[in-house]
Amino acid sequence: MPKKVISEEEVPLPQVKKILSKRSKDGELSFQQTITLEHANMFSKMAPSVSMKTVERLMKNYDLSRAQAVQVVNIAPTTEEEMKTVIDARKTDLTDEQIAEIVEIVQKARS
């Protein structure tokens, strides 16, 4: 029987990796969870705690939605052009300077 969904929110890949890794130690993962964990292992680009702090910082300082901030963390763009694609710069009020700052924040978070 499926478990009841208590709440939903966007979660960055590094946090997904942490949650599913812990869950796999406690018991067997479903097929979908196993595939998701493999994906998270392959594509996570920063530590779980760093990813959550980065999401919060992007939301607070740059007025990004949670979904946008999580996408930025998941993709971790390395150039301003990549960043503009990730956040769809046409639909935000971010300046080129702010986009450059976000790229710098993400690069620091990756190290």
Q: What is the CATH number of the domain that holds 87?
A: 1.20.1250.40
| Under 8 Å between Cβ of 65 and 32 | no
Q: Based on the domain organization, do 39 and 52 belong to the same domain?
A: no
Q: Based on the domain organization, do 74 and 104 belong to the same domain?
A: yes
Q: Based on the domain organization, do 55 and 101 belong to the same domain?
A: yes
**Distance between CA 3 and CA 62 in Å, rounded?**
36
**Distance between CA 87 and CA 6 in Å, rounded?**
29
Q: Based on the domain organization, do 39 and 60 belong to the same domain?
A: no
**Distance between CA 102 and CA 99 in Å, rounded?**
5
Q: Based on the domain organization, do 82 and 98 belong to the same domain?
A: yes
Express each pLDDT in 69-106 by its tens digit. 999 999 999 999 999 998 886 677 899 999 999 999 99
Express each pLDDT in 25-39 by its tens digit. 988 899 999 999 999
Q: Based on the domain organization, do 31 and 56 belong to the same domain?
A: no
Percent of the chain with pLDDT over 90: 78
Containing domain of residue 60, as a range? 48-110
Please count the structural domains in the chain.
2
> Do the domain assignments include residue 65?
yes
Q: Based on the domain organization, do 27 and 66 belong to the same domain?
A: no
Q: Based on the domain organization, do 60 and 33 belong to the same domain?
A: no
Q: Based on the domain organization, do 22 and 36 belong to the same domain?
A: yes
> Do the domain assignments include residue 7?
no
